[in-house]
Every structure is written in C-alpha cells, then in structure tokens.
Amino acid sequence: MCCYEWQYAVPPLRMPPPTAGGINEPQECPYCRRTFSCYYSLKRHFQDKHEQSDTLYVCEFCHRRYRTKNSLTTHKSLQHRGSSGMLKRLLKTSALHGALAPAPHLFDLGAGDHGPLPPALQ
C-alpha cells in the first residue's frame, strides 16, 4: 500500500473592499474577524497578517529582515529614532569637511586645553 501526499494550491487572500459605511468607518477583517477603526488600519493589518509575499525588507542600520514594509518602518521608528537624520548629517558633514577644510585659526579658543575636536570637525 502506498501513501500519497496531496498538495492543494491555496489561492492568495485578497484585500477586502471597504464596507458600505465608507473608509473612515469601523472595518472588520473577513479572515480573522478583528475590527479596525478605519479602512487604512484594516489594510495595514491585512498586509502584516494575511498577505503572502516573498519580499524581505532589510533595515539599513542593523540589517534585521522584515516580512512587511510596515514592520520595518515600525522597527526603525522604535529602534533607530533619529538615526536616519544623524547619518545624513554625518555624511553631509564628512563631504563638506573634505571639500572645505577649515582654517586652523577658526578653532583657536585661546589658551588651555579644551579637549579634542568632534570627529566631524577633525
């Protein structure tokens, strides 16, 4: 006697349309019955929980991988708040530093040791 494994192709779930009340009214997920305050929240839930995708989104700061763009955005806002702006400023400052080397007399603060210059100004 032989056993067969049957594989059924499961059709992908489709994003439901907004309910008759409109996009700003409470919405219910037809797949798990959770209720959301508006259509946008339902859409985000659907993408995070029910949508199937082979795409991975990678954090440019710590290289963690996420299944949805929303998950990556949430991760960055919680774990790397301000990192994007600081990184852009550092790159801009580094580029300017190479192009416009400051004159040494601009940093003469008088007698005494004031400690090292910040890395961006060295």
Q: How many CB atoms lie within 10 A of CB 18?
A: 15
* pLDDT tens digits for range 32-90: 999 999 999 999 999 888 988 889 999 999 999 998 999 999 999 999 887 656 655 66
One-letter amino acid for residue 28 of the chain: E
Write down the pLDDT at residue 7.
Answer: 64
Helices (H), 1-122: 39-49, 69-79, 83-99
* pLDDT tens digits for range 96-119: 555 555 544 444 444 445 556 566
Write down the pLDDT at residue 29.
Answer: 94
Write down the pLDDT at residue 105.
Answer: 47
